Structure 1
């Protein structure tokens, strides 16, 4: 992991006024937010949270069955959130968790009502706007028993040339019979350093589905969330799509720990480098049986770069079934020739394969966000063809 000089960033004095109506934001900010998953003009949401640098500027819930709060206010209201705050992550884990613990700027607290089925998603964004902004965030999600929610969250910088750093702690609790679909879209800048620290617990019969999309350049990102399946029949599925242009360094992975019987874990990672470096990690550990887990890492090299796949399967008891597939390389020539035989030229064939590889239809993203992601994929096709 690359060394990060915290002295390069500003961790004090970057406050902003509240924004009552997000539709009043300028078009440039709206576009950046949309590419991080927040459609400020959408009315089909159950709540919205927006953090800009060191300030929570907007927070609301439009559904009585889901609570959306600024983390600082939640800590005040619930006497420090003793059951959830720094329970899954050690605040002394590293310099980034220490920074967030010592100088908390914000983050969200989202909690469902027991038994509630929240149909419209909650959307949130952690936004870097001031140059050299250093942002310390702590998020907590609590999905109560037998409830369901979709959270569409993202992180963004004000423009592609932006310089800044984001240190985010996230603790996730899916209780008995609960279901969380958590989709994260990152839209950072080419000089942004990112160090998220995430852990979660899924109880009996709970389901955690995680989607992650990163298609634009980021200077240095290191992420390795860990999910503990602690209840019988608990399920965790991770699906990620990452692109590393030249100048990007991505160290990304997922760990699933199966501590209860009849649990299932799945990690599917699709990565493309067009000149950057990707370290694609995955670790499934089976500590109770019966349990099943599958890990899949697929990588394409387009125009240089490095992909290093690090799959790990670890069974500590008899009766655990774990499997993995890993493949890294260029597009197979026979695939290109197959499409060319059906009327495409080589560039068209290559673009078709890339679009299929990066397909995110199964993530069921909002229409506007899906359109913007399709545009980014088309831009990637064009630059690769050149």
Structure 2
């Protein structure tokens, strides 16, 4: 217990120093006191530009954990918020995010889920004449992940990108974009070995929308894709879905260049997962660093 208490004191000191640094950048950070939840209210003031990612880290070490974060990005502001969630042993992590975006927000959620653990992510984003790019990223997860996102956009641009490499367990994503005179893009790239994937999307309202749910199965896994469009007269929407094995011709082409089969598979998988990512060098570096040491099994 003395060692544990010392670690907790050091962690609290580090968090306090980090919050102080954010406040020096002009960001308002307030701990939330909602019963049963931990988390923060983060406000990016009007016309404030924060190019350095704001990092939030949560670790569940076997006990159940509940997190609630509220984010407000005001007019003319720009911010990046990266949330790292890890659930260990048999506990679960319940994370909620409520965001109001009037400026530009780059939101990334990085999940690392060990066997017999579960992460549940329930999020709502209200994008009012703003820009939101939301990313769900995970590498070599073997537990269960349930991600339900709702986007509400008014004269805005909304993008969601699911980039997921799964060993086993359950992955369920259910993303709905309700838009008015807006643009919504929902893209999913999933690789599974022996897991089960349920991938649902919906775009509804007026404006333009595109949804794609693509997956690769390498083992005995299963992928269910359900893209849906609620079309109206003023809407222009498209969707597509593809699920299959690794393209053998592409694999043989790589191997013809002197690359061994295992390395060729990894190159193919990374190319599939990272396809069509927006131009954001910090985010690309983050994703590549997460996946660079991954193997096909």
TM over 0.5: yes
Could you state the TM-score of these two structures normalised by the residue count of structure 2?
Answer: 0.88
Q: Aligned partners of 2:283 and 2:58: how far apart in 1?
A: 19
3, 11, 14: which one pairs with 1:19? 11
1:235 — aligned with what? Answer: 157
Q: Is the 8 A contact 2:65 2:92 kept in 1?
A: yes
Q: Aligned partners of 1:69 and 1:183: how far apart in 2?
A: 20
Question: Equivalent residues in 2 for 1:101-250 (5 A)?
Answer: 103-129=35-61, 131=62, 133-157=63-87, 162-175=89-102, 178-204=103-129, 206-229=130-153, 231-232=154-155, 234-246=156-168, 248-250=169-171
1:279 — aligned with what? Answer: 198
SS of 2:64's equivalent in the other structure is strand
Cα offset for 1:66? Answer: 1.0
Moved over 6 A (4+): none
1:55 — aligned with what? Answer: none
Change (3 A) 1:210 1:332: same
Cα offset for 1:216? Answer: 2.8
Q: Is the 8 A contact 2:139 2:291 kept in 1?
A: no
2:243 — aligned with what? Answer: 328
Change (3 A) 1:243 1:348: closer
2:184 — aligned with what? Answer: 265
Larger strand proportion of the pair: 2
SS of 1:19's equivalent in the other structure is helix
3, 18, 26: which one pairs with 1:65? 26
Structure 2: gaps (5+ residues): 1-7
1:318 — aligned with what? Answer: 233
Question: Equivalent residues in 2 for 1:31-42 (5 A)?
Answer: none
RMSD: 2.5
Could you state the TM-score of these two structures normalised by the residue count of structure 1?
Answer: 0.69
Q: Aligned partners of 2:210 and 2:116: how far apart in 1?
A: 35
Residue 374 (1) aligns with residue 295 (2): no
2:5 — aligned with what? Answer: none
Cα offset for 1:337? Answer: 2.5
Q: Aligned partners of 1:300 and 1:249: how far apart in 2?
A: 15
Q: Which has the higher contact order (CA 8 A, sep 6+)?
A: 1
Q: Is the 8 A contact 1:255 1:284 kept in 2?
A: yes
1:364 — aligned with what? Answer: 281
